[in-house]
Amino acid sequence: MAPKATDHIHTVCATFFCPQVQTGVTLLSVPPSRHCANKQVAALLSWIDNNMISHIFSPTSAFARWLRWSLCCFSLCAMLPACSNAQQVSAQQSQAANAVPPAAQLYNEPAAQDASSKRAMKIHAVWLPLRQRLAADGLAGPQVDALLATLPKSPTQSPMGRKIRELYMRKFFPKPRSTGRASYYKGVLSETNAKTCRRFATENAAIFTWAEQKYGVPASIAVALLFVETRLGAVLGDVPENAFYTLASMAICRRKEDIVEWLPRLPKHELHADWFEATMPKRADWAYKETYALLKHMIHDQVPPEHLPGSIYGAVGLCQFMPSNIAVYGADGNGDARVDLFDLADAVASLENYLVRHGWRPGLPREKQHKVLMTYNHAAIYANTILALADMVEGKPMPSDAADVTQAHPKKRKKHVRQQQ
């Protein structure tokens, strides 16, 4: 701890006004760090003490008076820089006190916990069964309550309704398979996009180079994947709801009555009540597991829900991870001991870590690269597009068969990244 200016003043006054030099010597008999302005004064008075000068000379002698004055001046000289230092420390402490607290403190400060407790009282009734289930699975407390209290009064029916409609139509009204399927996503393979990716990789060369050295995934692959997933971070949310609200809503939509807004879009739904009864709880349970994982991520990595725009089924970040993948494959690329997939360094490190954990190695043959990319999103068109765009980023020409790019934008594809819903 830095010495306080008042300590120096006390030392000087005690040394100067004491009736006898021995009082000053006595002061110096305690550890110098507490009472002395600097080590020189401490050493000098210690020497006086050790050599019994105060016993040899009378306290009222001219030598004693000279010695007191000398010590006073010496201490004052030592005090001035210390005062300056104390002012600097005080200024720094004041600045720190006025600074906006980091997210970690918002989650940990007692005041914030008190606020969390109050917010817990405002959890809307519809979310209480979810809160109870989370608690039964060991996830409870003021932080969880505070996050649950951010959820609106009613769940959104959209994610479960959209998923059920997709499954329902595929089950009861399947479309004939089209011939001549496209090999690449529409609108991705172009020289303009390749140039954009190249520029992005150059502007963030430190991140991509570091990640390539660590994981062995070329920057061209990483930047192409980020472009396909989120247009390099330009398209982070498919829906207005944040990922937490999306997944929590899906987790509590377990019955046909929970998606009444979507039933008119499901022809003859009244004939298939058994199908709804069998299908919806499975999807809700999947969403519950993702909700659980997302809550743990938000608490562990201090990510507030408003910082989590998500895909239609709750994938988050520049690299679009489902929450359950964050704890397993998420990596800290910027060294702040957190995983924030909206941070480029963390997103690049995480996606490359994912690919490596699924078999990516330097020099991997093209067909095996394709296989690894399909673990990220189980669609051949996805892997085709990333590999072709990566080639173009490296300066190779557009594939000759890229003219028939008739598929929808990848952000509108029905099945999203890496994990079955």
Least CB distance to Ca ion at residue 336 (A):
4
**Angle 370-371-372 from CA coordinates, rounded to 5°:** 95
SS3 content of the chain, % helix, strand, coil (to 5): 65, 0, 35
Stretch that binds Ca ion, among 17-25, 62-70, 264-272, 345-353 (CB under 5 A): 345-353
Stretch that binds Ca ion, among 58-66, 228-236, 301-309, 336-344 (CB under 5 A): 336-344
CA distance 79 to 102: 36
User: Strand pairing partners for 309?
Assistant: 242
Among 4, 119, 272, 338, binds Ca ion (CB under 5 A): 338
| Closest chain position to Ca ion (CB) | 332
If binding means CB under 5 A, how many residues of this protein chain bind Ca ion? Answer: 5
Stretch that binds Ca ion, among 150-158, 171-179, 248-256, 332-340 (CB under 5 A): 332-340
214 touches Ca ion (CB under 5 A): no
Among 336, 359, 406, 408, binds Ca ion (CB under 5 A): 336
Structure tokens at 285: 């349970």
Indicate the residue among 189 and 298 with the shorter CB distance to Ca ion. 298
Indicate the residue among 230 and 302 with the shorter CB distance to Ca ion. 302
Indicate the residue among 20 and 334 with the shorter CB distance to Ca ion. 334
Closest CA relative to residue 416, chosen from 166, 219, 199: 166
Least CB distance to Ca ion at residue 95 (A):
25
Structure tokens at 197: 């990716």
Indicate the residue among 241 and 340 with the shorter CB distance to Ca ion. 340
332 touches Ca ion (CB under 5 A): yes
301 touches Ca ion (CB under 5 A): no
For residue 394, the one-letter residue type is E
Indicate the residue among 203 and 336 with the shorter CB distance to Ca ion. 336
Least CB distance to Ca ion at residue 307 (A):
13
CA distance 374 to 139: 33
CA distance 346 to 213: 15
Least CB distance to Ca ion at residue 108 (A):
18
Least CB distance to Ca ion at residue 252 (A):
31
Closest CA relative to residue 13, chosen from 82, 107, 76, 92: 76
Instruction: Give yes or no for a contact between 143 and 112, defined as CB atoms under 8 angstroms apart.
Output: no
Write the interaction track for Ca ion spanning residues 16-55; mark x where CB under 5 A is met and - where it is not.
----------------------------------------
Closest CA relative to residue 319, chosen from 215, 227, 214, 219: 227
Full DSSP string of 75-124:
HHHHHHHHHHHHHHHHHHHHHHHHSPPPHHHHHHSHHHHHHHHHHHTT--
334 touches Ca ion (CB under 5 A): yes
Indicate the residue among 338 and 415 with the shorter CB distance to Ca ion. 338
104 touches Ca ion (CB under 5 A): no
Least CB distance to Ca ion at residue 210 (A):
13
Structure tokens at 313: 């089924």
For residue 336, the one-letter residue type is D
User: Strand pairing partners for 185?
Assistant: 407
Structure tokens at 340: 């924030």
Stretch that binds Ca ion, among 64-72, 249-257, 327-335, 348-356 (CB under 5 A): 327-335
Least CB distance to Ca ion at residue 214 (A):
14
Indicate the residue among 215 and 276 with the shorter CB distance to Ca ion. 215
346 touches Ca ion (CB under 5 A): yes
Closest CA relative to residue 188, chosen from 321, 384, 320: 384
Least CB distance to Ca ion at residue 420 (A):
28
CA distance 67 to 354: 73
Least CB distance to Ca ion at residue 246 (A):
24
190 touches Ca ion (CB under 5 A): no
Task: Please count the other Cβ atoms lying within 10 Å of the Cβ belonging to residue 278.
Answer: 10
The answer for residues whose C-beta is within 8 angstroms of residue 248's C-beta and 6 or more apart is 127, 130, 148, 151, 155, 287, 291
Stretch that binds Ca ion, among 50-58, 61-69, 137-145, 328-336 (CB under 5 A): 328-336
Q: Which residues bind Ca ion (CB under 5 A)?
A: 332, 334, 336, 338, 346
